[in-house]
A and B are shown apart, each in its own frame.
Chain A
């Protein structure tokens, strides 16, 4: 079967650094995406890794190791507005079409 595993909840302090891990087991793999979703809001695209290594975008970085079927999202200099749910999603391919397979999400709680 296809599955993505990520922690259900992570707590961190404002100004700190937090890492959200994601392990996956899918029939195919074309890339790992991360999305942020605030309560009641739409998921917003954060990053995409198709190759191994670290991608940095401002305070957010995302890492991928295809050999380990593992990735993580790193958030630095945490701000209260970063309190949200974070989803990893694998881009897979069925027949000739791409699809996203989603994890259940990690709720990030930030304390002052």
Chain B
């Protein structure tokens, strides 16, 4: 049973560019949450998707957007990249209202 799969694992982008990160949730999970984790910090909640809709959003600018597909997979898009967007981006899946999240290994984004 595959867990949460994220791609790519590493990515280097230039300031001002746009990036798309992908996530396939654990089999049977219907809810996907995205987090940004800076080095030495805890994960910061970006947003959560359920039934192809953004249900909840953290304190992130509109440059961060996402999408959930009918098969529950999800994408995170970041436009107009800034140096400060360099971080580990984690995707977590769960069943709606469940308390246990399963995380992917993340995408390490470096903006230069």
Q: Decide yes or no: A42 and B90 within 8 Å by CB, A48-B99, A99-B56, A100-B101 being known contacts.
A: yes
Instruction: Tell me which of B50, B55, B99 contacts A91 (CB under 8 A).
Output: B99
Q: Would you call A103 an interface residue if the criterion is a C-beta within 8 Å of the partner chain's C-beta atoms? A: yes
Chain B residues contacting A91 (CB-CB under 8 Å) are: 99
Residue from A48, A50, A87, A97 with most neighbouring chain B CB atoms (10 Å): A97
Dominant SS at the B interface? loop
Check A102–B42 contact: CB distance below 8 A: yes
Q: Decide yes or no: A43 and B99 within 8 Å by CB, A102-B43, A102-B44 being known contacts.
A: no
Chain B residues contacting A100 (CB-CB under 8 Å) are: 33, 45, 101
Check B106–A97 contact: CB distance below 8 A: no
Q: Would you call A104 an interface residue if the criterion is a C-beta within 8 Å of the partner chain's C-beta atoms? A: yes
Mask, A73-112, CB within 8 Å of B = 1, is 0000000000000010101001101111111110000000
Dominant SS at the A interface? strand
A87-B42, A104-B42 are known contacts; what are 5 more A-B pairs with Cβ within 8 Å? Answer: A43-B103, A48-B99, A48-B100, A101-B45, A105-B41
Chain A residues contacting B50 (CB-CB under 8 Å) are: 97
Instruction: Give Cα A21–Cα B40 distance, bound, in whole angstroms.
Output: 18
Residues of A within 8 A of B (CB): 30-31, 33, 41-45, 48, 50, 87, 89, 91, 94-95, 97-105
4 A-B pairs with least C-beta separation: A102-B42, A42-B103, A97-B56, A42-B105
Chain B residues contacting A102 (CB-CB under 8 Å) are: 42-45
Min C-beta distance of B2 to chain A, whole Å: 13
Instruction: Give Cα A53–Cα B101 distance, bound, in whole angstroms.
Output: 22
Mask, B74-102, CB within 8 Å of A = 1, is 00000000000000001010000101111
Chain A residues contacting B55 (CB-CB under 8 Å) are: 97
Q: List 5 A-B contacts (CB under 8 A).
A: A91-B99, A97-B48, A99-B45, A100-B101, A101-B45
Q: Would you call B66 an interface residue if the criterion is a C-beta within 8 Å of the partner chain's C-beta atoms? A: no
